[in-house]
Amino acid sequence: MKKQGLVTAENSYMMQIDENGDVKEQRNALKSKDWEIYGFQNPDPFTDFRGGGLKSLQNITSFAMDYPNVLKKMIDPGNDFLMAISSINITYFLKVYFHLAEFLQISKDKDKICPRKGFKTFCQLLVTDPDILQDLHHFLFQEIFTNWIHIKTKFNANILDFGVALDHVTDTFKNIWNKREYKDLKEFTKYYKTLARPITKMKKPIYL
């Protein structure tokens, strides 16, 4: 999708995030240093959305509308949380994992995508919950934030350790998602909460 086609959507979506994030400055121009409040890497948020595309815009906006109080905590400067980058990374991960990324080549990317059993579960849930991808995003997004606060508090983690929290959550998700079939998201999240464990030691992140 061309950049021009995303700009209009970005301005609309970002203004909603402004309102729900309780940041009073309203913006007409897309480029602004203020986007760093939300965890973007530079004044032009478009550059961060390349991987997740329009779906990442929709997910981050939906989250801002559904969880405004959580969003306020995420963008609290004291938490040093990369809110936007975390959300975009989760959307990108889910799109790739569930075979939804257009650039995938199954033969080359088979280690990145969901096995047959887990993909079957995703497709079955998609029938009854068209928003399952968005719902999973919202759940995992909050899990990253929880894990980030944990390692920041316990291990004095800094921004360079962001990949530790992201990897831990995505690895835990893949392990639990493929253990069994689930009748709905509620059953999965309950099972996830039962099995998931906090980070007990720091490892070197492989990316930021």
Residue 188 lies in a domain: yes
Give a yes or no: residue 205 inside a domain.
Answer: no
Provide the b/e sequence for 23-46 (b: ≥16 CB within 10 Å). Answer: eeeeeeebebeebebbbbeeeebb
For the record, the structure tokens of 118 come out as 């887990």
Q: Each residue's pLDDT tens digit in the chain (208 positions)?
A: 333 433 444 455 555 555 554 443 444 456 666 666 667 776 666 666 666 777 888 898 899 889 999 999 999 999 999 998 899 999 999 999 998 887 777 777 778 899 999 999 999 999 999 999 999 999 999 999 999 999 999 999 998 899 999 999 999 999 999 999 999 999 999 999 999 999 988 765 444 4
User: Is 173 a domain residue?
Assistant: yes
Residue 206 lies in a domain: no
pLDDT of residue 106: 74
Number of domains forming the structure of the chain: 1
Q: For residue 99, which of 89, 115, 113, 120 has the smallest C-alpha distance?
A: 113
Provide the residue range defining the domain that includes 60. 3-195
Q: Are 149 and 82 in contact (CB under 8 A)?
A: no
Please tell me the predicted confidence (pLDDT) of residue 204: 56
